[in-house]
Chain A
Amino acid sequence: EAGVAQSPRYKIIEKRQSVAFWCNPISGHATLYWYQQILGQGPKLLIQFQNNGVVDDSQLPKDRFSAERLKGVDSTLKIQPAKLEDSAVYLCASSPLGADYGYTFGSGTRLTVV
């Protein structure tokens, strides 16, 4: 079974620039999550999709972050404009609908904002 695919692996941008991350979940997983992990901290949920609908985006800074999952499969997370404090690893995860088991994380995208 293929895992959760994320790209790019690394990205360095200047503040005020824009950036986009891509995630392809495990085939058949209805639920997709984007987490932000700042160095030395645990991951924090940014947004959760179930199929192509948003379940929880309460911690997404909506003035600069956006995410979509148009066909209920892959997803894109965008930051525009980026701030220094957005430097973090952005992890995508997926899980089967209504299941706690099978929660699978991708390797993440490490973003550095300079």
Chain B
Amino acid sequence: KQEVTQIPAALSVPEGENLVLNCSFTDSAIYNLQWFRQDPGKGLTSLLLIQSSQREQTSGRLNASLDKSSGRSTLYIAASQPGDSATYLCAVRPMDSSYKLIFGSGTRLLVRP
């Protein structure tokens, strides 16, 4: 059974810091991994999607890496801003016929001005 774990559960940093969020998964048989952002009272917004054949994806100040063989992914946020404060969730799409996603519990990020 696929399990997704995110560490740390919460993180508080001063504005301007570079930071890394971690995600691990137990079964390497995945099609892809996605990072989502969730703001309070709102739905999830997809940030980056990494296919299983890729090593990393970049969008602006965000960079996500994937090491499928070791079951790990990281989300790097450069020059953090207060507007980055949110919960970040990683999710894997298992290698089966559906398109369901299996989520971690998320990292709650607070960027202090």
Docked-complex contact A33 and B43, CB < 8 angstroms: no
B88 to chain A, nearest CB (A): 11
A100 to B6, CA, bound (A): 22
> Residues 32-70 of chain A: 1 if any B CB is under 8 Å from the residue's CB, otherwise 0?
010000001111110010000001100000000000000
Docked-complex contact A43 and B105, CB < 8 angstroms: no
Please pick, from A4, A41, A48, the residue contacting B100 in the complex, using a CB distance under 8 A: A48
CB nearest neighbor in A for B6: A42
Docked-complex contact A33 and B100, CB < 8 angstroms: yes
> Residues 58-99 of chain A: 1 if any B CB is under 8 Å from the residue's CB, otherwise 0?
000000000000000000000000000000000101010000
Report B33-84 residues with CB < 8 Å from chain A CB. 34, 41-46, 49, 51
**A interface, CB within 8 angstroms of B:** 3-4, 31, 33, 40-45, 48, 55-56, 91, 93, 95, 100-101, 103-108
